[in-house]
Structure 1
């Protein structure tokens, strides 16, 4: 911040698009924010936080559009407060429940938002002690009222809430040291500098959106361009038009984002695009598919997109984003593997005529060390063996907020060699003889579909409550990367007509799309007793996955003799 020219643009904010013009631009409303304006706004908000006794306290930052989302974050940093990014209450559904759970878990006393979000927060938290500033309408303090603070390296800069149940949220404690180490690792990995233009649409409570697309331009003194996630969801190609219009050099998103662009693009639209400025196209936050990258590169080759721009990477919030990445300008590493061998814990080439799964390498460690570890014996495995990915380094967070047992389990893991503590990722992977990491699957029960990380308990509870005829619900994932959701729903048959079954499936699918952003789940209606549980009543999702793999599910609807899922070993 101090090194940046105050008159230089820090960010451009792209609003909802109208019909694109023939010159390849659009009718988007664009606002800009210089480094000087950002510093002034951040000092005003910091002065307000300090006046409310917020130094050293946690401040809720609901997602909002425009300059406020950045000024509020820096205002917390300036004030010596801990920022707590979260979804907007205006997003409805699951995001509202998640926001309220985060606010309760973090024990926040202050919130910074725009007037629309602030009004909804006031309604949600009526009767509580939460004080919310409508920063776009309020009379803010003079910037000179701000009093600089001195932060230690291990002071908590922000709490990044990550995957987990809506009601049992987990906050990652990210220190000043973690932030700086993470930014330096990203800079070295991507080759970015003050001349880079970094753009994206991921929300600021998403780790890639917050660390990679919002904080990284600030670290460099570069220019950022931000677009609302809702704009991308409605018009995926608006992302690519943004890249063209503003000369974005670095941008990225989950694998599904590239797939959506391929599906939406027409020849005419591709013909109007010029993606030649796009030097680094990060692909992360969910399994990286060779087929997606190949289809995108082919579809947008006429728009001057280069396949070597693709940059598969692996990271997680607990490591302040980046763990491994490749070399910009080099094509991703791909490797054919035998699925049966992968299931047995070995990454080997398929034999002639046997099934094959193409793995995409996600690079080598960036500022951290990784080990591939047998999760049972905790023995470090040699290259080619599949195990859990363990990580350590300066960017690895301090732990989880108010979760001592989980912090010790996940952040204090020790290998059988007793060579210091590591972070357990919960992901399965293998490295090759060159140190390239390949992510194979997950140890966790979590569901990651279309870049959304959802606890299966949330899906099960939500779906089960849709209809009084619904009994036990099981949500499992399928496919090589377990990225396709299957919901197995027990249905009480008393008084139920066959003609009602399709409408029940449609109701579940509509609910999953609207509540969780999962539009293409497989819904199986089954008789009571099909879903496996332990004697204590706990769902046995692994057993259900086994039944799916073996073809042991006989649904009431859809009427197929035996349902067998695409459950390639992982």
Structure 2
């Protein structure tokens, strides 16, 4: 049989051929906190998706973009496949629940993608219809898929998609006001699923799963679509079920025999901090063969702490699988070898600030870098972001990627695509994606050091914000998440927004904590930080995959939208920020 040319062909083939086999288990917690699940077979999934596809075709959605706002896993995968089966382009996005931020994001995606239809559930349909009316898009159909009568697929017409057609639009977690939809082709999606399979040694008998949201590349491509590509079974949990109690993720891995799955570094940190000793004794994590650690910088300290804490539950340190990827490359770019510990380098932090990697000398501040493995199915080069000159092993520059999985660009952004997706080095090597990430190659291994736009240039040095944020965790048990960023003026002013867990608002205690933050940074980085804001827990923004939104925090600070419990600010920055805020308000 010919291999499928599109992901649509593959999905149709799976749903027809695998019949009663379980396609997905959707796990939640009941009122008593016990895990329960709902399952769907390949045959049932295919039939429901084809029936919904028929309705979409009747409404003229073929060839258009369809926004998917589904919090329920079963409704999401049915809606996603229905779009493919109808010849439409699915556009996953987070349901606009609660915050102004999420509503604004969805509104801008509707405008940017020029969607013709929205698929949601009955509980959200009224709010979504109201949103569409408010932004002047009353012509967009809003369909509650859980209350539609889907009784026949007799009128369904198989779509005629090609390998280079868009499979879906993946909106990145960047700017809310200017969302960017990555155009993932069928060819790129199939290539990346094959890469994931080869990298993790997955089989149809593998249990793949996790809790990441489906509008995120790892949640969609890694957890939701990889089981379908394999013809296996996916085990999926809503993000909030994990966030409310991280133990439930580990219980799901144990109870349902998940062998491949993971999340961002933050997820492992939360498990170390919030799972109790007596709860570990009831877990069996011995079948968890590939514990993916990606979506944000990988911390050696986190992997060591998790491995020690959960060793009594059968977790093996060799199961950790640090990797690197991004939506612009569909998902996976580099990864290690299952059952082998990732390479680590203890490097000189001062040299790293000068974009060089060399071993830490005695008496010098060290930083441990964890390898994100070797490039998989693609070419990776490290390039000077300013000169576009290729760099050698041990030099830090921008990570450039070229390969079949790399997207053709962002939806409707030709000028930006020419710069970001068709970059060429000074030696004439072209067709590269500029990732915006900083890293270095060493003996064929990729080490990610930070994000280009996050680097702070202070006193002739390149400071990595994550180094500062990590060091502050040792100042006091009262300090939680922090975000460090720079504000440009006559010089770069470093600002630290630091969450504090305080049972009462005590000015003297806050002043002491602020001083502790300043002293820590001065001692470890030899930099005077005059600007510290202590804020309530939950103030520091993250993406749905756990990445710190430093650019967003900088914008909130400049607009005066943060509400600090206590702040220390230099007169120069106070005057600069005051001018920015007056300009915004005028």
TM-score calculated relative to the size of structure 2:
0.79
Residues in 1 aligned to 2:311 and 2:412: alpha-carbon distance in whole angstroms: 49
Matches within 5 A, 1:39-188: 39-126=46-133, 128-140=138-150, 142-188=152-198
Cα displacement (A) at 1:501 = 12
From 36, 51, 58, the equivalent of 1:29 is: 36
Cα displacement (A) at 1:142 = 1.0
73-82 or 59-68: bigger deviation? 59-68
The answer on 1:479 being equivalent to 2:466 is yes
Residues in 1 aligned to 2:115 and 2:382: alpha-carbon distance in whole angstroms: 38
Matches within 5 A, 1:289-368: 289-368=299-378
The answer on 1:287 being equivalent to 2:297 is yes
From 380, 383, 392, the equivalent of 1:382 is: 392
Cα displacement (A) at 1:16 = 2.8
The answer to whether the 8 Å contact 2:483/2:496 transfers is no
From 211, 216, 219, the equivalent of 2:221 is: 211
The answer on 1:530 being equivalent to 2:569 is no
Q: Deviations over 1:301-322 (max 9, x none)?
A: 0100010000000000000000
Tell me the SS of whatever aligns to 1:152: coil
Q: Say how many residue pairs are matched.
A: 495
> Cα–Cα, structure 1 residues 274 and 489, in superposed 2: closer, same or farther, change >3 Å?
closer
Tell me the SS of whatever aligns to 1:15: strand
> Cα–Cα, structure 1 residues 19 and 298, in superposed 2: closer, same or farther, change >3 Å?
farther
**Stretches of structure 1 lacking an aligned partner (at least 5 in a row):** 21-26, 448-475, 491-497, 539-570
Cα displacement (A) at 1:235 = 0.4
Residues in 2 aligned to 1:277 and 1:350: alpha-carbon distance in whole angstroms: 37
Tell me the SS of whatever aligns to 2:438: strand
**Stretches of structure 2 lacking an aligned partner (at least 5 in a row):** 1-10, 457-462, 471-481, 486-494, 498-505, 512-531, 554-563, 582-586
Residues in 2 aligned to 1:108 and 1:519: alpha-carbon distance in whole angstroms: 27
Cα displacement (A) at 1:18 = 4.6
From 443, 452, 455, the equivalent of 1:443 is: 452
> Cα–Cα, structure 1 residues 477 and 351, in superposed 2: closer, same or farther, change >3 Å?
closer
The answer to whether the 8 Å contact 1:17/1:231 transfers is no
The answer to whether the 8 Å contact 1:338/1:347 transfers is yes
Cα displacement (A) at 1:66 = 3.1
> Cα–Cα, structure 1 residues 351 and 293, in superposed 2: closer, same or farther, change >3 Å?
same
Aligned to 1:400: 410
Tell me the SS of whatever aligns to 1:144: coil
Cα displacement (A) at 1:244 = 0.5
The answer to whether the 8 Å contact 1:441/1:482 transfers is no
Aligned to 2:242: 232
Cα displacement (A) at 1:90 = 2.5
Cα displacement (A) at 1:92 = 3.2
Task: Give the aligned CA root-mean-square deviation in angstroms.
Answer: 2.9
The answer to whether the 8 Å contact 2:49/2:82 transfers is yes
Cα displacement (A) at 1:502 = 7.1
Tell me the SS of whatever aligns to 1:480: helix
Cα displacement (A) at 1:119 = 2.2
> Cα–Cα, structure 1 residues 331 and 506, in superposed 2: closer, same or farther, change >3 Å?
closer
